[in-house]
Structure 1
């Protein structure tokens, strides 16, 4: 069964709000075995909405609309679908009673336009709105199933899962749900990862293999159809095993979690602590770490040593290392080592990570944009320094440097 989402609202086109409804509906449809082929966003314009509905009906079995069910004149979804199908709009009495009762309970005068929220297409099935006022609609017209949902997510989500999905199930054949698994990688770029898997990607049938990148991480989504998670895991196993065989050194998780979550799990499991010293990342590494709930059990804290004065004053980097003719400079392996090692001395942490580099947009100390040194110190072990040459704009370089620092710590924890 093929589906299309039509999100209605000029505010979406203007970028004033983010269309999170489409993400939710697509995920829920996949779980039911409904293939999402298209997503459309259309403004509050009668003709353009009518054109969108006609096009969707010509290429999808299910058309799911969100938004445009409210009381104002620009809430047009039910009116336009009524025009397309030739159905009249009729009052859904239970919804009207609920609307009237709400206004009465608040001692607020109800203007006539609020009755629009209780209208539904004649012959359609009402979808109860547990958290709002506008009634949803579900109907079949010339072989296409139409679902009309309110725009606010707090209203749309329960209406879809509790009422629209059961309505659709009664009209579905034996669709088999999609089952997906996420493999998360760090320390390797998307193009390099794809190159090492290109034969698998080009010959894929079932399961499918889809790589996609975020800043500093790469995800592979494996997808098949399965009636249960156990069946899905069995169907994915051979492909997953081959990917792990080729890229296991970069695979930090077989679930959709960021690397900072996995690092903190390992620190906690090994009863180890971490402190960080940041220059070019400006606190981003600490922010990523502290975003994870419970990070305080293992993360002692971070020091932002952006200036040479603070590198010297707070963590003891000698000025003849930082400045002067022939000095290695703030962006150097020497500085990265001292920063990381001084964290162990001054905080008592088991691990110390330092990040110093050139985020751009201009070179610094005669060194190119994207040059970053990551220092990794640990008690009773030699301090390691990793030299990175990162690409992208300032924000990308900062994010990739922070993620790469976490990757190096993850590798060390796994080896230990």
Structure 2
């Protein structure tokens, strides 16, 4: 059953949001310098309001753009709570890229990663169209499932422990559509994409945390039970809201959501005596009702009242819901040392970070190289701060938990021989 479409409405743009964009090549995630980026309102692609160039790190200067009033995203409304922009990117040697429908929310920073393919005689243009946000547009509601999958069927449970995967394979359609494309997506990028598609970045931080935990637990249940592979499919999860969550190829994510995912990405939800992550289903709570599930708007209102993430989750799923941590993070060269690295730190973990930053600097020339001596001095601090600036992390110069894993991810991306695309 499909949700009835909302009344279309013109929104008055009285607030502002920010756009941070960086452009990389599909070949090993190399930054693309000197690409021309034009920004226009969606529906008026020839009415350019900004034109900028990318720097050596593939970045453009952060832009401030008009957005609708904040209150449109704070309660269900017939008015669209975000502005839509078309981003057009061109660079010699690459296919021209258009991203239509990029979302700008008020008082929020949108982060757009644009991936350009080398041009070929057959292809010179790629067009990505971002559909409406799930809280505003028309999407099928979730088909209910049991939150805990049976474990007594031979072969159904393949993994012996909960592992955060390096990649998930997203089938961009319903499971039975063989023509839908499959995408290899980094796990953290997948979670950021889904959360940016299903909740608003303007919501309270603990509301965002609660929803991100529910999305991650659901996803890790699909990974742990190999749900689709045991049905004969070659993918991890789908982009259909009827079966899983809405993932949108090429869409922007939001900084406030990205920060929460980086903080929590090895977590999931569990119940006592249950090994698998809980399949935490939810609905919007306004157009669709779902007893015993979390509702997105309900979680927002509890966040407004000062509820913590676990209090929000237990309000919907019961008091025996707990936050757990995965036993392994796949594809990571080295695990978190257990405490931040800062001025005065020393040892093998510092040396490893220095060596990884030097490897990354070969692809990102704005990142200074450092002496890999295992001593965290000012030069290392400055290199870490520049890394954080380039990759959208708080520029503290301290290797905290999110920075550690971002360095690991980028290091793997720029040094592996054959990047999955």
* TM superposition score normalised by structure 2: 0.24
* TM superposition score normalised by structure 1: 0.24
Higher relative contact order (CA 8 A, sep 6+): 2
